[in-house]
Amino acid sequence: MTLVSEWASAQGRERGLFRKNLNIKSKNSPEPKKKEDAFQLEEEPSPQLRINNQFEPVKAPNPTVVSPADTTTISRGETLPIEVEEEQQIGDDWVKVATYYSVWDTQAIDPYGIDPTDFDGIVDIQVYEPLRNRLWAAPLTVGRPTSQFGPRWGRWHSGVDLDLETGDPVYSAFDGIVRVVGFDGSGYGRFVVVRHHNGLETLYGHLSQQGVQSGQLVKAGDLLGLGGSTGRSTGSHLHFEVRYEGNPFTPTEIFSFPANTVRAEHYLLTPRVWDYKRTGAKMEYTSGEKRATRKTFWYRVRKGDTLGEISDKTGVSVDRLKRLNRVSSNRLPVGKRLRIK
């Protein structure tokens, strides 16, 4: 399989198969501490597996939703290395809006197009890994729930609402990469979506300010923005979601509120968390408007590479590589990016 076809295959699986100075908290320090930053910006029982799933083999998290970058030793605000460029159509023009890894989307909350009712496995999610310095943090200093995951006003509330005052800091729950920094006036308001190493994504809605950008690496406890009441909201609060493969499930499977702790170092994700989908429930919030986008793929030259070898790896002819990149020599400098699609 060529490099291009591997990328296409990965995207196909994702869309169709399913198939700075902040206190970082860990299990060993469950009591929240007041966090400061120049930005100025009821206990539920632990989930139980369904009997018919208890002896199914446990799977690793889907590789297309696990953050590929290493955040264990990053400097705050470091930007993700790039191999793909995304442009967005604005009027008649195409404007470059982001750069990122190939399995990625900076606009849609759920770009994967996966039906969770087809999910039939058990996934072992390592929520945090102290030995690798991948910790966790509560999204707010005080986690006081005001509305739970479940039916509300004839639709399904896809997260937990946590009380706050406008301007209160909102923190990343785990290490990861900021994927979406967006605005949805009829729903989430100003929101941020972060993709995490553990295979989960978290969403933070109704913010008054966003303090990060797409592609930014963050650690657990890093400031994402300030709480507020933007979008469809009746008062200041944080709308907090936990998602796997783009589909939300109750955050209290992972977090305990108002204790403001995580339940365990590991979590076994089973199909039961999406039982609500089988009822035909409609989501209270949608993913917002999707604009036309186009992507450019690049290959980064390695030591000893020639155009012929790159052609064999990618399935793109030498002549096309030369035309796309305006090069003539078969030998190329190490590290040079070659457009292949």
Note the pLDDT of residue 17: 33
Note the pLDDT of residue 94: 65
d(CA 83, CA 69): 12
Give pTM, 2 decimals. 0.64
- How does pLDDT run across 129-174, given as a tens digit for each residue? 999 889 999 999 999 999 898 888 778 888 999 999 999 999 999 9
d(CA 176, CA 214): 11
Note the pLDDT of residue 193: 95
Positions of the chain with pLDDT under 50: 2-55, 74-82, 98-103, 289
Dig out the tokens for 181 from the structure.
């920094």
- How does pLDDT run across 5-28, given as a tens digit for each residue? 444 444 444 433 333 333 334 443
Note the pLDDT of residue 301: 81
Burial of 298 (0-12, 13-18, 19+ CB in 10 A): middle
d(CA 223, CA 22): 8
- By C-alpha distance, which of 225, 186, 229 is closest to 202? 225
* Backbone Cα Rg of the chain: 21
For 15, phi then psi, to 5°, come to -90, -20
Q: 3-class DSSP state for residue 226?
A: strand
Q: Which residues contact 236 (CB under 8 A, 6 or more apart)?
A: 164, 165, 166, 206, 227, 228, 229
Note the pLDDT of residue 237: 95
d(CA 43, CA 257): 6
What's the DSSP call for residue 7? H
* Residue in the block written with tokens 């950008």: 213
Q: Establish how many alpha carbons lie within 13 A of residue 276's alpha carbon, considering only the half-sphere containing its beta carbon.
A: 17
d(CA 298, CA 285): 35
Note the pLDDT of residue 117: 85
For CA atoms 203, 244, 80, 288, the dihedral sign is negative
Which contiguous run of DSSP H or E holds residue 204?
Answer: strand 200-207
Report the amino acid identity of residue 268.
L
Note the pLDDT of residue 150: 86
Note the pLDDT of residue 194: 94
d(CA 196, CA 129): 12
Give me the domains of the chain, ranges plus CATH numbers: 1-300 (2.70.70.10), 301-339 (3.10.350)
- By C-alpha distance, which of 170, 108, 134, 166 is closest to 26? 134
Note the pLDDT of residue 188: 92
Note the pLDDT of residue 5: 47
Note the pLDDT of residue 20: 34
